[in-house]
Amino acid sequence: MLAVFNPYHACIDSGKGNTVHQSDVFTACVTSSNTYDYDSDVTSQNLNIPAHFYFPKTSKKVPIIIISHGAGGIFQFHHDYKDIFLSNDIAVVIIDHFSPRNIAIDFDFVSVSEAMMLSDITATLEHLTKYYGHRLDGQVGYIGWSKGGISALSLRNKKIYDKYIPSNIKLSFLAGVYTFCDISFEDYQPSDIPLLLISGELDEITPAKYCMNLFNEFGESENISYHQLANSYHGFDNHAFLLGAYLPWQPTLNESDICSIVIDKSLKTISKTNIYSLNDFQSRKEFIEACTVKGAFVKYNSDSRIKSHKLVIDFVKTKFGQN
C-alpha cells in the first residue's frame, strides 16, 4: 500500500529537469507546476514530471501525439495505442501526471486537477520543441482517456487553449476516449481544433449521452467526430477489466443544475448555480462529497477495443495528413 500513496517514479531524484536524450525510447523529466484551476497563476512549486518518449525507427521527421492517462494511471492499453502510432511512424509521449504528486490511483478526484494535467502538457510541449524539434515535423496531437480526456476537451475553449498551448505550436487535433463531456463555459470561444470523441453506450462513469449532446450542439460547426460503441462500459479497451469489475471508490456525478460544472468568464470552475466552486482542494472536496455517489462498473470489450483502435488511428492519420 505504501507504493500506492508514495509511488516511486523516474524523476523523483532528479534536480535537473529538461534532460536531453538521443535514443528512441527514454524518459525526460520536464519541469511543471501545480495550478489548481484554470484561472490560477503558476505557483512557485516546481515538479519534475516524467514524460515517457517513444520515437519510431526512422530517419525522417515525424508527428507526435501526447497521451494523458485517466484516474487509474498508465496502463498497458495506453502502450497498445502507442505501438499502433509507432507502426505508423508517429512519435508518442505518455505523461505520468500522478506519481510526482504522490498518488498512483486517483481515488477521490480531488488531489489532481485538470489544470495540473494541462500544466504538465505545457511543460512537455515546451520541452519537445526545445530539444527534439530536429526529430519532429511540427504536427502535434493530444489524446486523453477518461479523466485525461477532460483536459483535452477543455482545450476546445480558446481562452484555455491560449493559456496552456505555447504560441509556436498549433495542435492538429484533440481526442477524448470515454471522457466526461458535461462541462460548459460561460464565455465560450472555440479554439477550432478538430476533436474526436469515443464513448461506451453503457458507461456509468462518463455517460455517453453528454458527449452525444455536445456533438449534436457543436459537431458540425467545430469539426467534431463522435462515435458511441454499443454494449460497452467504461474502460472497454483496458485488459485489466477483462472480467468486469465494480470500483467502489469511483465517484459518478449526480444529475442536477446544482452539480453541473461550468467554467466561468474568469476560467474559474464552479457549479452552474454557483453554489459550489472547484477552485481549490477544499472546495473541490466539498463538491465531490455533495455531488457524487460512489461505485461504478467497468468492463473490457474486445470488439470495442478493436473498433476504438481503428477509429483513433484513422482519425489521427487524416488530421496529420492535412498539414
**Residue 191's pLDDT is what?**
95
Give per-residue pLDDT as tens, 106-155. Answer: 888 898 999 999 999 999 999 999 999 999 999 999 999 999 999 999 99
Half-sphere exposure of 268 (CA within 13 A, CB side): 10
Whether 177 has a pLDDT exceeding 60, the answer reads yes
Whether 13 has a pLDDT exceeding 90, the answer reads no
Beta bridge partners of 65: 92, 141
The strand pair at 245-253 and 292-298 is best described as antiparallel
Give the separation between CA 307 and CA 229, rounded to whole angstroms. Answer: 8
**Residue 45's pLDDT is what?**
67
Structural domain contains residue 286 = no
Q: What is the CATH number of the domain that holds 108?
A: 3.40.50.1820
Structural domain contains residue 268 = no
> Could you write out the DSSP letters of every residue in 189-249?
-B----EEEEEETT-SSS-HHHHHHHHHHHTTTTTEEEEEETT--BTTT-GGGTT-EEEEE
Greatest mean pLDDT among 243-247, 276-280, 308-312 = 308-312
The model's pTM: 0.93
Longest Cα–Cα distance of the chain, Å, equals 55
**Residue 1's pLDDT is what?**
37
The strand pair at 245-253 and 62-68 is best described as unpaired
Structural domain contains residue 266 = no
Give the separation between CA 95 and CA 181, rounded to whole angstroms. Answer: 22
Give per-residue pLDDT as tens, 60-104. Answer: 999 999 999 999 999 999 999 999 999 999 999 999 999 999 898
Length of the chain: 323
Structural domain contains residue 235 = yes
Per the structure, how many domains does the chain have?
Answer: 1
Give per-residue pLDDT as tens, 154-174. Answer: 999 999 999 999 999 999 999
Structural domain contains residue 50 = yes
CB distance 291 to 260 below 8 Å: no
**Residue 108's pLDDT is what?**
85
- The residue whose grid cell reads 489544470 is 115
Give the separation between CA 279 and CA 270, rounded to whole angstroms. Answer: 7
Q: Which residue has the higher pLDDT, 36 or 224?
A: 224
> What does the pLDDT average to over 299-304?
98
Whether 2 has a pLDDT exceeding 50, the answer reads no
- Where does the pLDDT of residue 322 fall: very low under 50, low under 70, confident under 90, or very high at 90 and above? very low
Residues 6+ apart with CB under 8 A from 83: none
**Residue 273's pLDDT is what?**
84
Structural domain contains residue 144 = yes
Q: What residue numbers bound the domain in which 213 lies?
A: 2-241+302-321
**Residue 98's pLDDT is what?**
94
Structural domain contains residue 158 = yes
Structural domain contains residue 68 = yes
What percent of the chain is predicted at pLDDT more than 70?
Answer: 93
- Where does the pLDDT of residue 15 fall: very low under 50, low under 70, confident under 90, or very high at 90 and above? low
CB distance 155 to 166 below 8 Å: no
Give per-residue pLDDT as tens, 38-60. Answer: 998 766 568 899 999 999 999 99
Give per-residue pLDDT as tens, 178-215. Answer: 999 999 999 999 999 999 999 999 999 999 999 999 99
